[in-house]
Structure 1
Amino acid sequence: MNLIQKGLPLLFTLFTALSILAQDIQKDSITQLDEVVLTQEAIPKKATGITSSSKIAGKTFERFNPTDIPSAINQVSGVYILSGAINTNRITVRGIGSRTPYGTNKLRMYFNSIPVTNGTGSSTIEAYDFENLGAVEIIKGPKATAFGSNLGGAFLLETKASVEDKTQLINSFSMGSYNMLKDNLGFSHSEDGFNLNFSYNHLETDGYRQNSQFQRDGLLLNTRFRTGQKSSMAFLVNYIDYTAQIPSSINQTDFEEDPTRAASNWLAAQGYEANKYILTGLSHTYQFSEKLQNTTSIFYSYLDHYEPRPFNILDEFTNGYGFRSRFAGNWGKADFTFGAEFYRDEYRWGTFENLYEENNGNGSLEGTQISNNKEFRRQFNLFGTLTYPITAQLSAQLGLNWNKTHYDFRDLFNQGDANASAKRDFDAILLPNFGVNYQWQKGKLYANISRGFSNPSLEETLTPDGIINPDIAQETGTNYELGTEWMLFKKRLSANVTVYRMNVKNLLVAQRVGEDQYIGRNAGETRHQGMELDLHYRGELSPTITFSPYLSYTLNDHSFVDFVDGDNDYSGNPLTGVPKHQLSSGIDFRHSNGLQLNLTHQFVDEIPMTDANSISSNSFNVFHAKLGFRKSLSSHISLGLNAGINNIFDANYAQSVLINAVGFGGAQPRYYYPGNGRNYFGGLQLNYVF
């Protein structure tokens, strides 16, 4: 496919032109307040040893509206977030997770090294305020080992670090289109052996579409203190309370004529979800010697979820708890890590009739209970890695992960023969990982072979009748990866190129048989292969103006190798839900007086939306711009201002799609989640240093 014919971005042309004018970067061109940004960028790498990873931090976050975490993460090649709404995000990594109907699974997510993925592998990145994050590190593919060898890899979310030996009060206020208001008030204190961060955040918006109001309040407490010469403790509390109306997906006619429409049945039911979520964690770090350290965490999470849908009302809660212990050290020339992670949760859910059609236009009304279920889910991981320097330039790493998963489903509603209670005990699975890394002055070359897995989701373990499906097996896959990183032109240009191939067996398929009913089964094999390219340049236009153009390109060549669904043979078809080409590009300008301009662009190729490849979404280009200014008003007070435009050319595009959608009762299938039209935002930040 010719990207030039698709509208190759003007920013890429600008990238080339400005590179010709580039000169050496002057160290004295760093703007006011970069001390805080640099502290966030300096959050250390969490991936073990020579394991490759990608990280985005303060400078990347600054390019976007503070409510738009998908755009920031979509700057990483090989990663794509399909965002149906603020509360509806599906993360795909190298095509893994693309067939999940709603939400994110097949990867592990950690918040300050505490696992926040639930017992069936679901993660919710929307549970965290963008402005509280200092960095997001992404390990693509199953090579994470110490963070669960899931096929999609691992997302490691880290909160902002305190500025050493300073006490600060920072308030960031933003407003924008669709009556958007957001405020984040943060306090941080750092002194010898003690660090404290506390923030309160509030977000409200009417949304671009009908029935898409969103309101969220959150509290975050993160503290670390030294308890002795060799030990320290950390305590974390993250609380989120949000209510989000659900416009749901719409059909092609509505998408083309008026993308602000909500699905008619969701609009009539005034469908929404209300969530109260809390995560608490206590960690202890002990330095046994210069050669051995341990960090052990215990954690508890609670989610209370209530969701009136047109077809029923879902009322659920989840209690989860566990521990994670990791030892790290060195033995002679070798570095090692080993440890264990245990997670157990109790998931209880019931459904009720929704009598919205009898409620005189007032939306959802709870009726008779129609189900009551409980499921206990537990996972246990053992992991270890050994990294050995064979020569001064060449290192090798061996990793091993062992996983055991168990589900215990209990039907609390039906009696006798109709009772569907059952247990599912998956066989233990061993997941090896081997990598090599060759380092030289201007770059490195690395290779990796790793095996990974994915557990079935709750929907995939049950039949539509609520009975455990004993034939469902875990997905497994082997990943082959080769990559290189370069620093060129006096380290002004960084270039990363990765090629990979992963074969996934026992592909998990959620076949839709009703508006809220799926049959999970294993249906063959997929092949995931592709290339990822990341370029970043740092140059100077004048003694006072620096510029940084960048580009991330992803080639997804994913396909069904063996996929037969009833009488249909889809073998050889491109994988559903994945664009073949993705491109993120942009350029950052900074002036020494504190002024900065960020221009960003995203291209997403067409996405096959059915297994038969009978229909695809249209490709699209979206452009954003943001202008900011930072200035120190005194030795204690700093001011930041910003204003921006999203979707400058008002493109009508699908920011997310629902694959294999089915039209019920003669209605058109609802494939599309429209992206926002052209919209505006602005903000003010005040920083007081005590």
Structure 2
Amino acid sequence: MPESNLRSLLGFLLLLLSGNVALAQQTQQDSITQLDEIILLEEITPKKATGITASSTINTQTFERFNPTDIPSAINQISGIYVLSGALNTNRITIRGVGARTPFGTDKLRLYFNGIPVTNGTGFSTIEAFDLENLGSLEVIKGPKGTAYGANLGGAILLNTKLAPEGSTRFVNNFTVGSFNMFKNNLSFSHQEKKFGIKVSYNHLETDGFRQNNRFVRDGLLVNSHVALSSKSTLGFLLNYIDYTAQIPSSISATDFREDPRRAAANWLAARGFEANRYTLAGVYHHYELSNKLKNTTSVFYTYLDHDEPRPFNILEEFTNGFGMRSVFNGDWGQANYTLGGELYKDEYEWSTFRNLFRDRDGDGSFKGDQISDNKEFRTQLNLFGTITYPLSSKFSAQLGLNVNKTDYDFRDLFNTGPENTSAERDFDPIVLPSFGLRYMFDQGQLHANISRGFSSPSLEETLTPDGIINPDIAQETGTSYELGSIFNFLNRKLRVAATLYRMDIQNLLVAQRVGEDQFVGRNAGETRHQGLELDAKYRLLVDKTLVIAPYVSYTLNDHKFVDFVDGDNDFSGNPLTGVPKHRISSGIDVVHKQGFRANLTHLFVDDIPLTDANTLRSEAFNVFNARLSYGIPAANRFSLGVNVGVNNLFNTRFAQSVLINAVGFGGSEPRYFYPGNARNYYGGIRLQYRL
């Protein structure tokens, strides 16, 4: 770790520690009960994870520490999870190191929006399809212990919208402007009564971005509604529509990163590369109480993605139609609680590529040429699951879970004929994924333990050989996770400390090997061992009845290694896992005044990251600080007004916000490993609310 980064990190941690010492000196009369009656720091968020399954949740108060376009920084407040963000439309989420080797995007976890699965048929999830200002909470189940949510090796992320309190009607407009010609507006209407609730939100975002060829424009519509059909029956409807166009600056070389991080990759700039997405999620759910001991929630849903992407090497056009159903029964059986259910997801993926003639256009950007390929794939994911939670005593509980997964791919080559046609099917055998957990509750906290088995299916690219033929030998990754965790409350519950130790052994490691400028193939290359420590501490100091100071810190230790990894003549066994920082710290201080004033200082430290399997190159460690001030003003009986200003990257640090591992230079060019983070930038916003 560079000495300057170490000094900065130690200085900030010393500031946090001094706050903790002051907190420890407060008298017992400053209780958390008294605090909650005066100033609300965090809203209580209902847990969605099944039974005693451990999870981590952030809510509106965490989102509001950051620029409303910056969902990665909000998620990075959680230990054990790290979002690498190359741009607003280029995010890669890793949980406990799982997914770090994926070249682009997020896979090996399952994403849900209001209980509806939105991960596609090969396991890819798109967090940027959702507006941060529409979310009420984000819950993370780390590792495969979430039996009812797919049992993926990475885990699951549960996104949930927020409705108005019962008996209220609200119009809210959030308006934000900032550096790089950023403009964002979110206008929402919400109404909630005992038997009916609805929220309608429209959002618009545009920014030129920090880098060349970095403009982003997005429009979105969210409709979320439910109506009580009877005292036991509720029908709900969800619609989320996103339309965005994002220019792509792509990754850059070490030389460009050092000399001018604003540069775009030369070939992407010449082609004026971009992606255009029109994404729709529509779902209907029905909740029914069969008895006072048995409830069922069933949802049916449809997703549609229309994606166009002119790239230097070709022009991609793709369409995905997805549809499915999820049904969950929750009930009591004597002293035990149980969950039984199933989830079926099917999608039809069509994609074609065309030659890009931008080099013949004299600087006018991409132009479609002859067609190169025409493909279609049918993909099916079936999950059947069940859990039973039994109280062994008033404080001690056990939970047994089981997930069964069946995955099928049917690939059809619609372009080539005869012996050149590469159509094929790949049906994976059913896989059984058990989970067992224990939890012990005591007056000042709890202990929990879990052992579970998980899997990851190969992506589309990983199922193909370099010749575009289905690889019949590719296998699903499988792994076993062991977890031991604790939560302790001290000093009259003003200090909360959580610690988790885990180890996950993964076999049949899926490796995406780059064989062309836009061609990756997969193979099972060996085993990895993921083990680590996650620590979270939050403190609340009641200075007086009007002021709260709350420091917090989250620390992640990633000790992840290749146990057995041989690539051709190279043996990388024993090397640290590529793409994962060994140490990561998220910390900050919230200052909240009863009269509506809030100040937030946040800090992120990321250790250096191995960029090659041989560990011959690493990114530089960095510290980034953000600050935000806000003030709420009750303007009239029914109106309220809030204003906020913020600065990101307070000390103008040059850092890589995302990296590309094992990059290869083509045509004698330098490998492009780095996605630069934004330089120091500013934003300010106004929130206007009208309550009927």
Give TM-score, length-normalised by structure 2. 0.98
Give the conservation status (yes or no) of the 8 Å contact 2:504–2:529.
yes
Cα displacement (A) at 1:519: 1.6
Aligned to 2:438: 436
> 1:134 is matched by which residue type in structure 2?
G
Output aligned runs, 1:111-510, within 5 Å: 111-510=113-512
Aligned to 1:54: 56
Per-residue CA distance 1:616-661 (angstroms, 9 max, x = gap): 0000000000000012122211111000000011000000000000
> 2:251 is matched by which residue type in structure 1?
S
Question: Of residues 635, 638, 641 in structure 2, which corresponds to 1:636?
Answer: 638
Give the conservation status (yes or no) of the 8 Å contact 1:303–1:317.
yes
Give the conservation status (yes or no) of the 8 Å contact 1:444–1:484.
yes
- Distance in 2, matches of 1:524 and 1:301, equals 35
> 1:454 is matched by which residue type in structure 2?
S
Are residues 1:20 and 2:21 paired?
yes
Output aligned runs, 1:606-621, within 5 Å: 606-621=608-623
Aligned to 1:565: 567
- Distance in 2, matches of 1:59 and 1:121, equals 30
Runs of at least 4 residues off by over 6 Å:
1-4, 26-33
Cα displacement (A) at 1:31: 10
What SS class does the counterpart of residue 254 from structure 1 fall into? helix
| CA distance 1:130–1:495, change in 2 (3 Å) | same
Aligned to 2:12: 11
- Distance in 2, matches of 1:387 and 1:588, equals 37
Per-residue CA distance 1:324-378 (angstroms, 9 max, x = gap): 0000011000000000000000000000000000112110000000000000000
Give the conservation status (yes or no) of the 8 Å contact 2:163–2:198.
no
Q: Which runs of 5+ in 1 are unaligned?
A: none
What SS class does the counterpart of residue 142 from structure 1 fall into? coil
CA-atom RMSD in angstroms: 1.4
- Distance in 1, matches of 2:395 and 2:219, equals 50
Give the conservation status (yes or no) of the 8 Å contact 1:43–1:161.
no
> 2:17 is matched by which residue type in structure 1?
T
What SS class does the counterpart of residue 235 from structure 1 fall into? strand
> 2:15 is matched by which residue type in structure 1?
L
- Distance in 2, matches of 1:463 and 1:633, equals 64
- Distance in 1, matches of 2:209 and 2:128, equals 16
- Distance in 2, matches of 1:31 and 1:661, equals 54
Aligned to 1:70: 72
Per-residue CA distance 1:116-155 (angstroms, 9 max, x = gap): 0000000000000000000000000000000000000000
Per-residue CA distance 1:178-219 (angstroms, 9 max, x = gap): 000000001000112111000000000000000000000000
> 2:375 is matched by which residue type in structure 1?
N
> 1:302 is matched by which residue type in structure 2?
Y
| CA distance 1:2–1:273, change in 2 (3 Å) | closer
What SS class does the counterpart of residue 612 from structure 2 fall into? coil
Give the conservation status (yes or no) of the 8 Å contact 1:379–1:403.
yes
Give the conservation status (yes or no) of the 8 Å contact 1:386–1:397.
yes
Q: Which runs of 5+ in 2 are unaligned?
A: none
Per-residue CA distance 1:62-84 (angstroms, 9 max, x = gap): 10000000000000000000000
What SS class does the counterpart of residue 16 from structure 1 fall into? helix
Cα displacement (A) at 1:28: 7.0
Cα displacement (A) at 1:9: 5.0
> 2:87 is matched by which residue type in structure 1?
A
Worse overlay, 591-600 or 127-136: 591-600
- Distance in 1, matches of 2:7 and 2:120, equals 40
> 1:265 is matched by which residue type in structure 2?
N
What SS class does the counterpart of residue 255 from structure 2 fall into? helix
What SS class does the counterpart of residue 374 from structure 2 fall into? strand
Give the conservation status (yes or no) of the 8 Å contact 2:31–2:493.
no
Are residues 1:667 and 2:664 paired?
no
Aligned to 2:626: 624
Give the conservation status (yes or no) of the 8 Å contact 1:487–1:493.
yes
Aligned to 1:676: 678
Give the conservation status (yes or no) of the 8 Å contact 1:31–1:592.
no
What SS class does the counterpart of residue 60 from structure 1 fall into? helix
> 1:419 is matched by which residue type in structure 2?
N
Cα displacement (A) at 1:25: 5.1
| CA distance 1:593–1:218, change in 2 (3 Å) | same
Cα displacement (A) at 1:2: 9.2
- Distance in 1, matches of 2:615 and 2:8, equals 24
Aligned to 2:597: 595
The count of aligned residue pairs is 686
Per-residue CA distance 1:236-269 (angstroms, 9 max, x = gap): 0000000000000000000000000000000000
- Distance in 2, matches of 1:417 and 1:250, equals 40
> 1:87 is matched by which residue type in structure 2?
N
Per-residue CA distance 1:260-307 (angstroms, 9 max, x = gap): 000000000000000000000000000011100000000000000000
- Distance in 2, matches of 1:204 and 1:327, equals 43
Aligned to 2:688: 686
- Distance in 2, matches of 1:624 and 1:505, equals 39
Give the conservation status (yes or no) of the 8 Å contact 2:111–2:158.
yes
- Distance in 1, matches of 2:521 and 2:335, equals 51
> 1:146 is matched by which residue type in structure 2?
A
Identity of aligned residues (%): 63
Give the conservation status (yes or no) of the 8 Å contact 1:31–1:594.
no
Question: Of residues 549, 554, 557 in structure 2, which corresponds to 1:555?
Answer: 557
Give the conservation status (yes or no) of the 8 Å contact 2:31–2:492.
no
Give the conservation status (yes or no) of the 8 Å contact 1:265–1:310.
yes
- Distance in 1, matches of 2:635 and 2:221, equals 29
Cα displacement (A) at 1:544: 2.2
- Distance in 2, matches of 1:631 and 1:16, equals 33
Aligned to 1:101: 103
Cα displacement (A) at 1:29: 6.5
Aligned to 2:112: 110
Cα displacement (A) at 1:593: 1.5
- Distance in 1, matches of 2:31 and 2:91, equals 38
